[in-house]
Amino acid sequence: MFLGFRKRRTPGGTFALRVAAPLGIGLGAMIVGTMPARSADETANQDVENVVVTATKRNESLQKVPLAVSVVDGEQAAQENLNNLNDISSIVPSLNFRNGASNKDQGLFIRGMGTVTTSPGAEPSVSTVIDGVALDRPGQATLDLLDVERIEVLRGPQGTLFGKNASAGVVNIVTQQPTEEAHGYGDVSYFGGGDEFRAKAGVSGALVPGKAKGLLSVLSSDYGGNVTNVYNGDKVNGYDHNGARTKIELTPSDTFRVLFAADYLHSRETIPSGVISSTNITYPGGVTTANPAFANLISPVQASAGNTNINTNTNTHADDDNGGVSAQLDWSIGNHTLTSISAYRKWKNGQLQDFDRTSSSLNKQIVDHGELDFDQISQELRLASPTGQFLEYVTGLYYLHTVDDEVYSRTDTATSGTVNNGTARYGTRGDNYSAFGEATFNFTDDFRGIAGARVIRDELSYYHGRVSTAADTGISASSPYATGNTSDLGYADRVGLQYDLTRKATTYVTYSHGYKGPAYNVFFNMVPSTQGAALKAETSNSYEIGLKTKTLEDRLLFNAALFHTTFDNYQANFPNLVNGAVVTNLINAGQVSSRGFEADFTAKPCKQLTFTGNLAATDARIDHTLVTPKNWPINGEPLPFTPKWKTNLRADYRIPVNEDYAITLGTNYRWQSKVQYDLSESPDTIQKAYGIWDADISLNNLASSWRITLLAKNVLDKTYSSYLQSSGATSTSGTAGYVYRWVPRDAERYFGINLRKDF
């Protein structure tokens, strides 16, 4: 890790100095620096400085924003082989990730709240925003992060400024901007544990000095994987990614700026549909049902908590094309700024999955194939007042139009050779209209009030039809073509007070109301006649008290927050059996709540040594629901994907060698308590508590702007699962099931090297 400075050109044309401290996450920030060409002695400051964020749609000091925000430096994260939001969630205590065999099946959770569904008729509770453009589907944002400047994680409802699908929080991704001065870089990495190779390069500079500048970045990466398919000897659980991003910024005058951006990423993921971790199912009453027949079917694979082998005859994989274009226009009108962001995004996803997870002819073979085609068009228009006056505000209008078309097929081949199949064609159309605004009232220099609201109009429709040869395992009977539509008028709001105790310490208290619109559970086995009713809108009420402070002559930064959030009509997936196969249904699960405490610190006892740490204590529980399948009571039980305790600690020691060279020694330890992965509260889908220790050493040549880093990941070789799922069982005395796991990248120890050169 390095403490450093980055010169950044602001939209108005002046240069600002961004100061970043080493890794530190929590309420205040995870702040890490970059490596400009400065001497080793010059970069060794003893102050812990702030970063600028856009969490309030303005450039504002992180320490002054009355929100719980974490900030991850994109370049530093990539250096540590943290390349997507799944990786980032491992080091941000309040952010958690739901894995899956395709990014279509993945999702984010903040403070225990998130939406798990593959239905195109439902939005996530955690909104992902890239350069001001909100992504409607969670799968659009779970691939490689290319040329990212920073990632801001905003916790709690953020609907007033970021939209309706932010009832639990926002992940705001800000990518690098074009520079006036010519700049380029090359970055290559190699990591063991599956032969992972990553290469990035970029150039930026003036096209017409003072009037136009551009940026182009490219990415290519390949990873063989850390799971072996004994059926054919292939390595799986890997990927192949290739992408590019370009931006052109025009400044025809001092009062007008245009930024055109385009990005594209093609990906193939070979994530298996599940690695068998147990052939037993344990029931809440303590009864364990064994499944020795299935254990024989997957032989020679031995089911265990650390198993990294599969035995399947279908090469499960997903192909993904994800990209878009946008145009941001900024006008200075007197002391006000008018901003327009127009965007179009395209997402295509195809997946092939081995549903039965075996290769034996003695077992029914079930293969799934899905194709997704998704488009979204959005337009945001907002007006920002000048700062430094009694009333400061941001207000605007927003429109989003989405079109989703999908085809999903399942083929069942019995041991007798009989083949049954079903094919469903379905999709959704959505429109969102909203008006929003948030204001700050500066009653005094030290005392402020905050008030904001968003009024939202949702319109959503679906179509669905399925043709099946016969009802079979995981296949419902044919369903005629059907349609449905719904609409809703909702709102989000936020009010609060902020008081500066001193020049470097501020406190705040806020109340927020969040809203996520109505939904349809549109999926392969949908039966519109019984499942075609729209789900009610999900709403939340959140209270938060926070403290942000720096002390000991700016050598210690300490931030903390207490929060309590209640969700009504919580939209969640619940497992159900269809002809003996587990499927999930999106339902209004009832009322849930989350309460807890978050804290972080960054300390520099001397110029060379930096300590950072953060903690999230989250009690997220199901308060009330009528859903009790198989007589499994879930009231009072924890929400999935949310450990009660999660922490991250880091130390960095910087050793100046001479005027040009410096060595940095870094070590990081993250730990979390046990976590439940299934809303049905199965005892088999609990990941026990675990801790991961990483270490790195870097040699930095500041004069020539190059760096070499050696990394050791999961030094103690601790095995864990990033997701566990039960195949289910019909009863305690009936058909037995099994449990399968998702194997994370760092499920075992591996080493790597990163080389970077700036020019």
Give the global pTM.
Answer: 0.89
Model confidence pLDDT, tens digit, residues 41-51? 444 466 776 66
pLDDT averaged over every residue in the chain: 87
CA distances to 221, 309, 560, 674 from 614, rounded to whole Å, are: 31, 35, 9, 18
Per-position DSSP letters for 101-139, written without gaps between them: SSGGG-EEEETTB------TT---SEEEEETTEEESSGG
504-507, long-range: CB < 8 A, 24+ apart: 504/63, 504/549, 504/550, 504/551, 504/554, 505/547, 505/548, 505/549, 505/550, 505/551, 506/63, 506/64, 506/66, 506/547, 506/548, 506/549, 507/545, 507/546, 507/547, 507/548
Mean of the pLDDT values across residues 272-301?
A: 87
pLDDT at 347: 96
High-pLDDT (> 70) share of the chain, %: 90
Per-position DSSP letters for 179-232, written without gaps between them: -SS-EEEEEEEEETTTTEEEEEEEEEEEEETTTEEEEEEEEEEEE--SEEETTT
Mean of the pLDDT values across residues 124-131?
A: 90
Residue 25 has pLDDT above 50, yes or no: no
Question: Which architecture does CATH list for 4-612+623-713+720-758?
Answer: Beta Barrel (2.40)
Angstrom distance (rounded) from CA 659 to CA 283: 65
Angstrom distance (rounded) from CA 318 to CA 269: 5
Model confidence pLDDT, tens digit, residues 695-713? 999 999 988 899 999 999 9
Q: Is the dihedral of CA 146, 427, 539, 95 positive or negative?
A: negative
74 Cβ contact partners less than 8 Å away, ≥ 6 residues apart? 145, 147, 148, 149, 150, 151, 175, 176
DSSP designation for 313: S
Model confidence pLDDT, tens digit, residues 499-550? 999 999 999 999 999 999 999 999 999 989 888 899 999 999 999 999 999 9
DSSP designation for 535: B
Model confidence pLDDT, tens digit, residues 47-71? 776 667 787 888 888 888 898 988 8
Mean of the pLDDT values across residues 7-19?
A: 34
Contact status, residue 28 vs residue 50, Cβ threshold 8 Å: no
Confidence class of residue 752 from pLDDT cuts 50, 70 and 90? very high
Q: Could you count the other beta carbons within 10 Å of the beta carbon of residue 652?
A: 24
Q: Which of 100-109, 552-561, 615-624 has the lowest mean pLDDT?
A: 100-109
Q: What is the enclosing helix (H) or strand (E) of 571?
A: strand 571-578
Mean of the pLDDT values across residues 244-262?
A: 96
Angstrom distance (rounded) from CA 197 to CA 223: 6
* Tokens describing residue 321: 């094309």
Q: For residue 300, is the peptide bond before it cis, meaning its omega torsion is within 30 degrees of 0?
A: yes
DSSP designation for 85: H
